[in-house]
Amino acid sequence: MGKRVGLEVSLAVAEAVKLANVDVVSAYPITPQTHIVEELSVYVASGELDAEFIPVESEHSAMSAALGAAAAGARVYTATASQGLALMHEILFIVSGMRMPMVMTVANRALSAPISIWNDHGDIMAERDIGWIQIFAENGQEALDLTLCAFKIAEDKRVLLPMIVNIDGFTLSHVIEPVIIPDHAEVDAFLPPYQPVLKLDTQNPVTFGPVGVPEVYTEARKQLEQAVIGAKPVVDEVLAGFGAAFDRQYKLVEQNGKIGAKTLFVTMGSLGETCMTAVDELMAEGQDAGQTRIRLWRPFPEEEFLAACAGAEKLVVIDRALSPGAVCGPVASELKSLFYGRPGAPEIINVIAGLGGRDVTVREFKEMFALAGSGKLSGNYMMWGVESHAS
Amino acid sequence: MSKQAIMAWEDLALGTAILSPGNAKELRTGDWRSLKPKLDEEKCIKCSLCAMYCPEFCISVDAEGFYRPDFYYCKGCGVCANECPKDAITMGKEGE
Ligand code: SF4
Ligand code: SF4
């Protein structure tokens, strides 16, 4: 059932964390994530949430304390963005390598310099290879729902990995949306208490994080790789279970617009919703347009993506991150690898757009569509909307 | 399996944790030794400083009160020889 309220998305995420009965929140405030952890600290202070709130002195410490708490067998939550995520960098690998489940919201924000508090995916794209499960929400309801699912996925005995739920900074984090908050009893039925497989326990001593000599490191990385790849069916299963319990369906990859269209936009995150409007308008104008939205980013849902793009001749892939000096943007790079050598592979057009909070409007998506159709979007990638004397 | 690996990835504990506490004692650091400490009983005053400084904690006192390394673990680092106040320990080539 739940109750439908108008709520800032950050607070909806905090509600989800409270409903998940976390044991430990370890976090450092950073724009645009601040409202989430601020709200959680209020819940803990008021006794509404029976958890330990660790107000650390940096994101490096936030992730380190989260790791320690997870090793002790706690259900752990943290959140960050941009420079904060970058400061966590070295610990992120340790958490996944040690197979410690936890959930982190990243309120995606551009990296400095120049200083930008606004949204893009530069922060998370720099963390592609950390061995965490990574998913992107498109709207407020999804941010709440995926946060609940993330605990169940991360703690599943077949997974035992940390998981990041990406929400676009400001575009999602600070927007007030109508959101259905589930009842506590419904969430309790969906998400049972966490049962760690291994934890720090003086009665049963174990060593976490030992040296991995060259004779064992490769095998250790193989174990992590298999866990990440093996998480895909569990993500699918948990999302399906969530759909059955709460009547809101989420897939690893979503389709929008005309199924089997020749030209498809590929989006990830909240820009997908603007693009949907553009696709709807294009279809109303009789254009052969569709859209594929990537929800699960790591592990990459290869089969699901291929199926969603069946029959397409052109993919207009939107990247919200620039990889300077690379062949193309990170999402396009992934997709070019996926399609390489496949018969009938579509042409992949890469547009880098929406950096550091630059708006990408419905009209601009339609312009991209027109340019892609006339073959004017060529080259490895194009940075959209760059003001220049040359153009 | 690669000749360089000590076990299959499937046999590693979750997150490469070590489940048998204290198994570092099985690690034969004596294998690393190229120099071997030798004690001059005439010079030794049995002060135990060598045992305190040994980074392998492998020096213990024998029945006569002399401090002697366990060569399963002694890695030949020479810390004991350096720290001995009476120069009672000399480092000789392993195998000589
Ligand atoms: S050589 Fe090094 S390891 Fe060996 S007994 Fe002396 S201090 Fe210990
Ligand atoms: S430090 Fe030197 S004198 Fe002291 S016990 Fe060791 S060998 Fe003997």
Q: Report the complex ipTM.
A: 0.91
Q: Provide the CB-side half-sphere exposure for B50 (13 A, CA).
A: 30
Helix/strand/coil percent split, chain A, to 5: 40, 20, 40
How far is A69 from A13, CA to CA, in rounded Å?
Answer: 21
CB contact under 8 A, A219 and B14: no
- Judged by a CB distance cut-off of 8 A, whether residue B4 touches chain A is yes
Q: What percentage of residues in chain A have a pLDDT greater than 90? A: 98
Confidence (pLDDT) at B21: 86
How far is B87 from A321, CA to CA, in rounded Å?
Answer: 64
> For atom 6 of ligand 1, which residue has the closest CA?
B80
CB B72 within 8 A of CB B56: no
Question: Looking at beta carbons, which residues of chain B come within 8 Å of A208?
Answer: 15, 17
Quick check: A120 pLDDT over 80? Answer: yes
* A218 → closest Cβ in B5, B18, B19: B5
How far is A173 from A180, CA to CA, in rounded Å?
Answer: 16
Ranges for all domains in chain A classified under CATH 3.40.50.970: 3-246
pLDDT digits 0-9 by tens, A254-270: 999 999 999 999 999 99
Give the single-character DSSP code of B47: -
In words, the CATH class of domain A253-383 is: alpha beta
pLDDT digits 0-9 by tens, A169-178: 999 999 999 9
Confidence (pLDDT) at B31: 94
Q: What number of other Cβ atoms are within 10 A of residue A26's Cβ?
A: 27
> For atom 2 of ligand 2, which residue has the closest CA?
B84
**Chains A and B: how many Cβ contacts under 8 Å?**
59
Helix/strand/coil percent split, chain B, to 5: 25, 20, 55
- Judged by a CB distance cut-off of 8 A, whether residue B1 touches chain A is no
Q: Which residues of A99-117 are buried (b: 16+ CB within 10 A; e: fewer)?
A: bbbbbbbbbbbbbeeeebb
CB contact under 8 A, B12 and A100: no
Quick check: A114 pLDDT over 90? Answer: yes
Question: Looking at beta carbons, which residues of chain B come within 8 Å of A155?
Answer: none
Q: Which CATH architecture has domain A3-246?
A: 3-Layer(aba) Sandwich (3.40)
C-alpha dihedral sign at A58, A60, A61, A66 = positive
How far is B20 from B13, CA to CA, in rounded Å?
Answer: 11
Q: What is the pLDDT confidence band of residue B24, given thresholds at 50, 70 and 90?
A: confident
Q: Where are the domains of chain B?
A: 27-93
* Closest ligand by atom to B86 CA: 2
How far is B34 from A78, CA to CA, in rounded Å?
Answer: 49
pLDDT digits 0-9 by tens, A313-346: 999 999 999 999 999 999 999 999 999 999 999 9
Ranges for all domains in chain A classified under CATH 3.40.50.920: 253-383
Question: Which residue from A257, A250, A252, A382 is spatially nearest to A307, judged by alpha carbons?
Answer: A252
Q: What's the CATH code, domain B27-93? A: 3.30.70.20
